[in-house]
Amino acid sequence: MSPELKFSETFTVYHALPSGISLIAKTDGAIGGGLHGEKRGQAEIEAAMRERSIDVGAIFYQEFQAQLEASGAFEVANRGEEYDATIALEIDAYGLMIGLTFAPPLYPILSVKATMTSRDGRVIWRQSAGVRPNTGKNKTGYRIDEYIADPERLREVFQNALRLAAQSLVEKLPAK
């Protein structure tokens, strides 16, 4: 097995209610309603992630590889070695979103896909997984000002969310 990775370069701080009414988050954590919405804090969070080298794609690749190796489902090939199949990993979307209470904190949200192809290019398996705000084991979130003040919180929440997504994908792998 030879893993590959592609991912969306678009990071989004979502402040939307299911009804489509957007919320404006202020740095003090207060929420005010609005119809146009504002991605408050997005630039600061993106800058903090760059400054701290928080690479969501690299984290996902490492988490998936660790989960795959721990499962024993397939042996991971080293670069240059022969392999029977390739798993292409893709992060479609990721960001932060208000949880079920429709108020801060913001939780990680992401959507990932994995496709296994044989050496001759035939698709053997395809699966997707998603992580939503404060559901399942994705229960850690912070306010925008907390993420900006301590960017390692971004690493913490994305590491957990990406671990959950990788676990979900590995659990769905076909038998050898």
pTM equals 0.77
- For the beta carbon of residue 78, count every other beta carbon within 10 angstroms: 8
pLDDT band at 102 (very low <50, low <70, confident <90, very high): low
Q: Which phi and psi angles does 56 have, rounded to 5°?
A: -60, -40
d(Cα 48, Cα 42) in Å, to the nearest integer?
10
Between 88 and 14, name the one with better pLDDT: 88
Q: Looking at residue 174, what is its pLDDT?
A: 83
Average pLDDT, the chain: 76
Matching residue, tokens 């959950």: 164
Q: Between 42-51 and 152-171, two packed helices, what is the crossing angle to 10 degrees? A: 80
In the chain, the percentage of residues whose pLDDT exceeds 70 is 74
Average pLDDT over residues 85-95: 84
Percent of the chain whose predicted confidence (pLDDT) is above 90:
23
Name the pairing type of β-strands 85-98 and 31-34. unpaired
The answer to whether residue 39 scores a pLDDT higher than 90 is: no
Is 24 a residue whose pLDDT tops 60? no
The closest of 4, 27, 25, 1 to 145, measured between CA atoms, is: 27
Q: Which residues pair with 106 in a beta bridge?
A: 98, 142
Q: For residue range 107-123, what is the model confidence (pLDDT) as tens digits?
A: 898 888 888 888 898 99
Reported as a single tens digit per residue, the pLDDT across 125-153 is 999 999 988 778 888 999 888 998 999 99
40-78 pLDDT tens trace = 577 888 888 889 999 888 898 889 889 988 988 877 777
